[in-house]
Structure 1
Amino acid sequence: MRIQQMNHVNLIGQMSSEPTFVEAGGKKIARFSLSTKETYLDEEGNTKDTKNWHSITAWGRWVPILEQLGTKGQALAIEGRLKSRFYNTNGKRQSFTEIEINDLVIL
């Protein structure tokens, strides 16, 4: 039996940094951090919050939108996929995982 594989991420959160813009291979790229909050009950029944920070990358049509409207604190809904990059530092292999945007809604 063949299993269908999928790499799909949906997040709703707030931009936790101003976007930075760089050129790579003749294309402009936007990078920023998105924070999300999770609420849960601990063992004593107390409500607890945890925050997560996600590295986000945007290409193409999303870059001008983020240049105009992307500011720290802006609420966003993001749909995308996980991308991992690997590189060597001082002989050690390092990895970096980010979310590449497919779709974006400014909330």
Structure 2
Amino acid sequence: MRVQQMNHVNLIGQMSSDPTFIEMDGGKKIAKFSLSTKENYLDEEGNTKDTKNWHKITAWGKWVPILEQLGAKGQALAIEGRLRSRFYKNKGKTQSFTEIEINDLVIL
């Protein structure tokens, strides 16, 4: 039996950095920034606690001009995208990082 696979991420949070814009070969641009999200949970005594997570975000294509115009630290966003893991060599060791590639974006 074949299992349907999915790579789908939905986040609502705030930009924790201004976007950085990188021009690739051929003039194509990408935007990179960090998005913070907050989660609430109850500790063992029943007190509400908050924890923050920071996510690496990458945007291509039509999202780059929007982020150039409207993207700034503190801006609230809803993001729909997919996880991407990338690998590279650094001083002979394989390094990796995971980022979220935007498919859809809403400025809140």
**TM-score range with shorter-chain normalisation?**
over 0.9
Residue 33 of structure 1 aligns to which amino acid in structure 2? S
CA RMSD of aligned residues (A): 0.6
| Whole-angstrom CA distance in 1 between matches of 2:93 and 2:50 | 35
Residue 19 of structure 1 aligns to which amino acid in structure 2? P
Q: How many residues align?
A: 107
Structure 1 vs Structure 2: percent identity of aligned residues? Answer: 86
1:91 is matched with 92
> For each residue in 1:15-52, what CA deviation from the matched residue of structure 2 results, as whole angstroms up to 9, or x when unmatched?
00000000123210000000000000001101000000
- Whether 1:16 and 2:13 are equivalent positions in the alignment is no
Q: TM-score, normalised by structure 2?
A: 0.97
Query: Aligned runs of 1:16-55 on 2, under 5 Å?
Result: 16-26=16-26, 27-55=28-56
3-state SS in 1 of match to 2:67 = helix
Moved segments of 4+, more than 4 Å: none
Task: Structure 2: state its 5+ residue gaps.
Answer: none
Task: Structure 1: state its 5+ residue gaps.
Answer: none
| Whole-angstrom CA distance in 1 between matches of 2:4 and 2:50 | 34
